[in-house]
Amino acid sequence: MDKLTPGEPGFICREVAVELVWVLERAYGYLRDRVAEVLHELVATRELHVEAAHDVIKAAAAYRRGGAGFADRMIAAAARRSGANAIYTFDQKVAQIEGVTLIDTTTS
């Protein structure tokens, strides 16, 4: 990190952001508030370039409030960014994300 500069920043891809959240929650026991703070700090660090930073910030803010996980929020953001008109899920928590529809498995 000491060698990174705003002119030659490090790179954090979306997948690494998702993995970071997983590690902070499970290995270190971070609560959602703290995880969201870490994500905001990473995006704000001039020596780092965070892929899809806008999605990370929005997903972190929504994740902080509860419900669907960070990874699910990043998936929905990627779908929207790619122009998907409809997003479907089997997961009730994910279906709480705006624009996501729960697939009813009780009917055949």
- The CA-atom distances, in angstroms, between 15 and each of 7, 22, 26 are 23, 11, 17
Say what the pTM is.
0.89
For the cut 90, the answer to whether the pLDDT of residue 1 exceeds it is no
Strand ranges, E, within 1-108: 10-12, 48-50, 87-89, 100-102
On average, the pLDDT of the chain sits at 94
pLDDT at 75 over 80: yes
**Does 15 have pLDDT greater than 80?**
yes
**Residues 55 and 49: beta-carbon distance below 8 Å:** no
Q: What angle do CA 94, 58, 6 make, to 5 degrees?
A: 140
Which pLDDT band, with edges at 50, 70 and 90, does 16 fall under?
very high
Averaged pLDDT, 33-52: 97
pLDDT at 85: 83
What's the burial of 4, exposed, middle or buried (CB within 10 Å: 0-12/13-18/19+)? middle
Give how far Cα 1 sits from Cα of 46, 49, 76, 84, Å. Answer: 11, 12, 31, 37
pLDDT band, residue 30 (cuts 50/70/90): very high
For 81-107, what is each residue's pLDDT tens digit? 999 988 999 999 999 999 999 998 887
Confidence (pLDDT) at 108: 57
